[in-house]
Amino acid sequence: MTDLWPDAEVGEIISDGTVLSFEAEATITKGKCVYLTADIKVTQAAAAQDCIGVALKSVETGEFCPVCVQGIVKITASGAITRGQAVYGSDVDGDPLALADQAVDEGGTAKYTVYYSRRIGFALQTFADNDTGLIMVQK
């Protein structure tokens, strides 16, 4: 796929947004999904987590990491994601995945329920596996 924002690196915020700083409890790589591990502390996701945003800087344990919690960020997709689809974090490498609605039986009637705590935003374009592109982080 053609990179729609070739001047931006993975992990760069390309819009006005909200960036918060958290202490890293482990090494974090720029452009990866992070989740809260303690009060005001984050770790890079390595499985499906209730992530809060995307790291905007690579940091070591104990350093402070800027995290986009709202805004447009360039990421690398894990698997196919369709534009407009919700995304969550993450695969084993901290990359976002497509979040599908989950069919559940609520009183005998199948309904679709989105697990909102898992969602970090939505795709602004269609991705193939390992494509780079833009997501809107909107927890």
pLDDT band at 107 (very low <50, low <70, confident <90, very high): low
Q: Is residue 130 part of a domain?
A: yes
Percent of the chain with pLDDT over 70: 87
Q: Is residue 78 part of a domain?
A: yes
* pTM for the model: 0.88
DSSP state of 39: T
Q: Please give the residue range of the domain that contains residue 128.
A: 18-138
Domains: count for the chain: 1
| Domain at 134, CATH number | 2.40.300
- Separation CA 57–CA 45 (nearest Å): 15
